[in-house]
């Protein structure tokens, strides 16, 4: 295979990457790093300046004579629209090109009302949050949904919570109003991306486990999200446990950890014991009051989750397991039981340096993850170069290129 030189890679998109990462911050830097001629550097920088992706600064320190013009990525040069859908609560935001939230809203919403109700509400909310910002500033849309997602198409499959969404291809619906790239992924995948990029960027291997209405996992392997062949990776909620009592799961199998240890299962089991619990907050109150039956039920749920996670740790060998979701965040006894079983049942090597930590970002990890997911796509060298080509052919198509 012939050797590829730096110059053959140094398109406008690659130049933007070098500026974003700080590897090159002046035109001279770009010429030195890429091997491009001065006119070629000037051409590529000019394209990025015209597109609003880069700005010039003249406040760089001088070593004598006129100070060099410093090039900076322009986070204010556009926005992305993001939404992290949960079974009962949804967070919607507008973020800049650095992923910082500019405006956001959180509200209760039953996703089971279906896409014909939920998606128009999301799009109306984005329009409200945009305020005076024109649609031409929108560079992309990122969404996390509580369902298995065939990522390449943005199609929801085998929905854990969103049964009425099964088989729905979301991106074309969003693009009818916002004609930009639209990326849709599983809700726990975007939580994993958010926690990884926001808290553990130095780690290559991480597993985020969400224990809430349902149970699922997102896996970071080798620094990137592991989706599998079609997007079904991380569905630990449908791994069966021993002695589950024959509980029927939504997927049609019995004794899946989701059906015996999720928030939904906790409420069901405690009601069967005669406890007056309607929400996880009611369970939390009983735990804090030291109710023995509630504590035992919560610990048993933790042990069952730990049993499944021990197998996942043996297979994936993550550096850290992050526990998130309202159930994991509310119950110390559940987390303690998970830790106990994982360290006891996993191999010595897999657990030698393993950390099991609570989520630091909480629900905010979803918004961060959605923003990172879409920004990594629309600001990739390939996507930037494609947009440059489209813009050259049709100037009004600056941000109107839909995802492929």
Residue 310 maps to which CATH number?
A: 3.30.420.40
Per-residue pLDDT of the chain (404 residues; tens, 9 = 90+): 333 444 456 899 999 999 999 999 999 999 999 999 999 999 999 999 999 999 998 875 655 566 778 999 999 999 999 999 987 789 999 999 999 999 999 988 888 889 999 999 999 999 999 999 999 999 999 999 988 899 999 999 865 567 788 899 999 999 999 999 999 999 999 999 999 999 999 999 999 999 988 899 999 999 999 999 888 899 999 999 988 888 888 888 899 999 999 999 999 999 999 999 999 889 989 988 999 999 999 999 999 999 999 999 999 999 999 999 988 888 888 999 999 999 999 999 999 999 999 999 988 999 999 999 999 999 999 999 998 876 554 444 444 333 43
Same domain, 171 and 38: no
For the chain, the domain total comes to 3
The answer to whether the beta carbons of residues 207 and 217 sit under 8 Å apart is yes
Same domain, 265 and 334: yes
Same domain, 211 and 225: yes
C-alpha to C-alpha distance for 35 and 324, rounded to whole angstroms: 46
Same domain, 321 and 306: yes
Same domain, 310 and 261: yes
Same domain, 62 and 138: no
Domain assignment of residue 106, given as a range? 79-190+364-375
């Amino acid at each position: 295979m012939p050797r590829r030189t730096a110059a053959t890679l140094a398109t406008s998109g690659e130049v933007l990457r070098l500026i974003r990462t700080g590897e090159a911050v002046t035109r001279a830097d770009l010429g030195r790093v890429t091997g491009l001629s001065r006119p070629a550097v000037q051409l590529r920088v000019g394209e990025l300046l015209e597109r609003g992706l880069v700005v010039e600064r003249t406040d760089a320190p001088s070593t004598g004579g006129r100070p060099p013009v410093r090039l900076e990525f322009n986070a204010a040069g556009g926005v992305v629209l993001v939404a992290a859908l949960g079974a009962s609560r949804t967070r919607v935001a507008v973020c800049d090109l650095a992923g910082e939230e500019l405006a956001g809203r959180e509200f209760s919403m039953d996703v089971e009302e279906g896409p014909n109700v939920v998606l128009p509400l999301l799009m109306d909310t984005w329009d409200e949050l945009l305020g005076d910002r024109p649609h031409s500033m929108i560079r992309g849309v990122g969404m996390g949904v509580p369902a298995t997602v065939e990522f390449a198409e943005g199609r929801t499959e085998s929905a854990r919570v969103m049964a009425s969404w099964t088989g729905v291809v979301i991106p074309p619906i969003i693009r009818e109003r916002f004609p930009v790239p639209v990326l849709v992924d599983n809700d726990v995948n975007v939580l994993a991306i958010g926690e990884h990029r926001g808290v553990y960027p130095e780690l290559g291997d991480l597993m985020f486990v969400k224990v809430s209405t349902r149970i699922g996992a997102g896996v970071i392997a080798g620094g990137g999200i592991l989706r599998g062949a079609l997007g079904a990776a991380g569905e630990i909620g449908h791994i069966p446990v021993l002695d589950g009592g024959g509980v029927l799961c939504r997927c049609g199998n019995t004794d899946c950890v989701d059906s015996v240890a999720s928030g939904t299962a906790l409420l069901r089991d405690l009601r069967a014991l005669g406890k007056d619990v309607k929400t996880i907050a009611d369970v939390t109150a009983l735990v804090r009051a030291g109710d023995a039956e509630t504590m035992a039920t919560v610990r048993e749920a933790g042990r069952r989750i730990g049993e499944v996670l021990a197998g996942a740790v043996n297979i994936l060998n993550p550096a850290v397991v992050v526990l998130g979701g309202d159930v994991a965040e509310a119950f110390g006894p559940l987390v303690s039981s998970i830790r106990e079983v994982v360290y006891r049942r996993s191999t010595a090597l897999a657990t030698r340096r393993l950390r099991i930590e609570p989520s630091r970002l909480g629900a905010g990890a979803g918004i961060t993850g959605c923003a990172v997911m879409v920004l990594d796509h629309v600001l990739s060298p390939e996507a930037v170069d494609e947009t440059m080509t489209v813009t050259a052919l049709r100037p009004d198509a600056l941000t109107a290129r839909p995802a492929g």
